[in-house]
């Protein structure tokens, strides 16, 4: 079994959203993703999608996007991003998911010998507004969701050597490499991989923290950052 990742799909089959208005590389991006997906991924593989799955605003417009994901090989595990406006009640979301789709928010699941956790994340707060009430509230919510996900993962994990992957939409570090308040929790929990997205410019990609730090391997999987080709996280 191979575990792959691709974030920020920004699907919009139900209500088309021409993302090439942001950059020409987004032209026909869903077709690019599908071609690369079918080329690399088998039905026994797992694909992690840490946020910004769909630009749909409601569950009705979301349905064609879910159908598209269901048509692709592999088990897909989703977590929320800041543009997933359709993502509300987790129980309702799970009730409408197709057979090959799973959703995580503040919890975890085990697939073969891999534990995957997911939570709704937040940006690393800027120093000049870190004490603003809205910023503190967003950070507190993100930390609470992360703690819940890691606690759930700990119940599923059989040993410290077992892979534990965290889906976290926003970069865990800021543009200067400063760690957000969640990084120490990832390290303390023995997370082996943290997959994130959200970044969409060359400058952001160049400064993003990637690779292994304190035992955690960080990978940016934003679709345009990886050429609209899912990246391999690990193989079991």
**pLDDT tens digit sequence for 22-60:** 889 999 999 999 999 999 999 999 999 999 999 999 999
pLDDT at position 196 is 98
State the Cα–Cα distance between residues 196 and 171, nearest whole angstrom: 6
Q: CB atoms < 10 A from the CB of 18, how many?
A: 9
Q: What pLDDT score was predicted for residue 198?
A: 97
pLDDT tens figures, 58-114: 999 999 999 999 999 999 999 999 999 999 999 999 999 999 999 999 999 999 999
Q: What is the pLDDT of residue 16?
A: 87
Of 225, 168, 206, 224, nearest in space to 50 by CA: 168
Catalogue all structural domains in the chain, each as residue range(s) with its CATH number: 2-235 (3.60.21.10)
pLDDT digits (tens, 9 = 90+) for 189-227: 999 999 999 999 999 999 999 999 999 999 999 999 999
Q: Residue 30: which residues within 8 A CB-CB, separation 6 or more?
A: 9, 11, 13, 68
pLDDT at 127: 79
CA distance 208 to 231: 16
pLDDT at 208 (0 to 100):
97
Tell me: pLDDT of 129 over 90.
no
Percent of the chain at pLDDT > 90 equals 93
Distance CA 125, CA 139 (A): 8
- Describe the strand order of the beta sheet including 114-118 as a list of residue ranges: 107-111, 114-118, 164-167, 193-196, 216-220, 211-213
Which letter does DSSP use for residue 126 in this model?
P
- How far is residue 172 from each of residues 15, 30, 85, 141, measured CA to CA in Å? 31, 26, 22, 15
Angle of CA points 138, 150, 82, to nearest 5°: 35
What's the rounded Cα separation, in Å, for the pair 180 and 157? 25
Pairing outcome for strands 2-5 and 231-235:
antiparallel
Q: Is the pLDDT of residue 128 over 80?
A: no
Q: Between vectors from CA 13 to CA 11 and to CA 15, what angle results, nearest 5°?
A: 100
């Amino acid at each position: 079994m191979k575990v792959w990742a691709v974030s920020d799909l920004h699907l919009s089959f139900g209500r088309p959203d021409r993302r090439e208005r942001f950059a020409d590389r987004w032209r026909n991006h869903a077709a690019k993703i599908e071609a690369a997906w079918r080329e690399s991924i088998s039905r026994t593989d797992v694909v992690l999608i840490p946020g910004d799955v769909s630009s749909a605003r409601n569950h009705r417009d979301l349905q064609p996007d879910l159908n598209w994901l269901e048509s692709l090989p592999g088990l897909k595990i989703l977590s929320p991003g800041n543009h997933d406006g359709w993502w509300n009640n987790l129980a309702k979301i799970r009730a409408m998911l197709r057979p090959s789709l799973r959703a995580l928010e503040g919890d975890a699941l085990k697939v073969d010998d891999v534990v995957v956790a997911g939570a709704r994340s937040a940006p690393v707060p800027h120093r000049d507004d870190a004490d603003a009430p809205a910023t503190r509230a967003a950070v507190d919510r993100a930390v609470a969701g992360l703690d819940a996900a890691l606690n759930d993962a700990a119940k599923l994990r059989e040993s410290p050597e077992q892979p534990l992957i965290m889906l976290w939409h926003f970069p865990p570090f800021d543009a200067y490499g400063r760690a957000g308040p969640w990084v120490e929790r990832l390290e303390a929990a023995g997370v082996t991989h943290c997959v994130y997205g959200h970044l969409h410019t060359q400058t952001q990609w160049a400064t993003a923290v990637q690779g292994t730090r304190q035992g955690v391997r960080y990978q940016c999987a934003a679709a345009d950052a990886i050429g609209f080709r899912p990246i391999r996280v690990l193989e079991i």
